[in-house]
Amino acid sequence: MTTSLRALSLRALVLGAAAGGGLPQWNCGCDNCNAARAPAGDIKPQTQSSLAVSANGDQWAILNTSPDIRQQLSAHQVLYPKKVRHTPISSVLLTNGDIDHIAGLLILREKQPFTVFATETILDVISANPIFNALDRILVTFTSVQLDQSFELVSGVQATLFAVPGKVPLFMEGETVDTQLEGEQTVGVRLAGAGKTMFYIPGCAAITTRLADMLTGADCVFFDGTVYENDEMQATGTGTKTGARMGHMAMNGEHGSMAAFVPLNVERKIYVHINNTNPVWNPASAEHATIRSAGWEIAQDGLEVTL
C-alpha cells in the first residue's frame, strides 16, 4: 500500500478584501455601498481585511482577524472543523492593533487552541484591554515576534515581519499623530514556502527605499489599496481625513503605489484593504481600468492565489 504525499505550495485565500467597515459599510449611502446592496449589482459585498495562508491545504494561518471572521470562516470549506471540536487554523498573525484587525479574536474565544503571533507592541495593545481575557491563555498562546526574524507561521510557511510606515491605532491617537512611524506598531509580512515569496501589507503610508528593495522581484504582493486618491473621502463627502492622515498611501498620483511599484518587477500585484469609497470597486469605472492597465488586480472575498 502506497501513501501519496500532497505537494506543498504557497497558498493564499482572501477572506476579506475591504477596509474597516467593509462594503457596504453599515452607515454609508455612497454609490459603491448602494450598488453593493443591490441584489444584481456589479459591485459585490466584501468583508473586512483578512488573509488565510497554507502550504499543505490542511493547516492554515489567519493574517488579521476582522470582526467578520465568523462569516469568513463559514464561507470556505477548507476552514471548516473536521470533527466535534476542531479547526484547521493553527495560528493567527496580527499586522497592527486596529479594531478591524484584532476584534475578530473575540469571535475565536470558544476554548480552541491556537497561537497568536505579533510584535510586542501589538501584543501590548491587546494586553491593555481586559476584554481579550476572554481568550483562555491556557489554550491560546500569545507569542512575541521580533522584526526581521524568520519564524514558522504554519507548517511549511516561514514568516518575517518588517516595519512599514504607519501610525498607532485610531483609539490610541493623541493630539499629534505621526503617520510615518516605522516600528512595531505597523508591519508587513514576508511569507516563504515551496520556493516562493509572497508579501501581505494591508496598511502602509509610504514605500521607502528599504521596502522597495525588499519587494523587488517578489512572486506576489498583496498591498494597501485603501483609497484611489488621497482626498477621496473628502471628495465623496464621507469623511474629513485624507488617505495620508489615516496612514495609507493612495493608489494614484506621483507618489502613489501604482507609480512606486513600476520599477519593482513584482510578478503579481493585488490590492487589498480597499475602502468602501474607492472607485476601483466599480468594474466600469475609469479608475478600475487604470489600475488594471498598470498590471494590478483588485482582491475580492474568496480570491485564491497558489504559487
Q: What pLDDT, on a 0 to 100 scale, did the predictor assign at position 3?
A: 36
Query: What's the confidence (pLDDT) of residue 173?
Result: 84
- 133-to-117, 127, 136, 147 alpha-carbon distances in Å: 16, 8, 7, 26
Neighbours of 51 (CB within 10 A): 26
Helix %, strand %, coil % of the chain (to 5) = 25, 25, 50
List of domains in the chain: 11-301 (3.60.15.10)
Amino acid (one-letter) located at 120: E
Q: Where are the alpha helices (DSSP H) in 23-98?
A: 31-37, 69-74
Which helix (DSSP H) or strand (DSSP E) does residue 127 occupy? helix 120-127
pLDDT for position 7: 74
Q: Say how far apart CA 124 and CA 175 lie, in whole Å.
A: 21
What are the backbone dihedrals phi and psi of residue 239, each rounded to the nearest 5 degrees, phi first?
180, 175
Question: Whole-structure pTM over 0.85, yes or no?
Answer: yes
Asked if 97 and 185 count as a contact pair (C-beta separation under 8 A), the reply is yes
Q: Where are the beta strands (DSSP E) in 134-268?
A: 140-144, 151-154, 157-163, 187-193, 196-201, 220-224
Residue 47's identity, in one-letter code, is T
Burial 208-240 (b: 16+ CB within 10 A, else e): beebeebbeebbbbbbbbbbbbbebbeebebee
Q: What is the pLDDT of residues 61-109, one digit of tens each?
A: 999 999 999 999 999 999 999 999 999 999 999 999 999 999 999 999 9
Find how far residue 114's CA is from the centre of its chain: 19
The torsion angles phi and psi of 213, rounded to 5 degrees, stand at -60, -40
Looking from the CA of 18 toward its CB, the CA atoms found within 13 Å total: 25
Interatomic CA distance for residues 124 and 167, integer angstroms: 15
Beta-ladder partners of 61:
53, 91
Ranges in the chain, pLDDT < 50: 1-4
The pLDDT, as a whole number, for residue 1 is: 36
Give the position of cell 453599515. 26
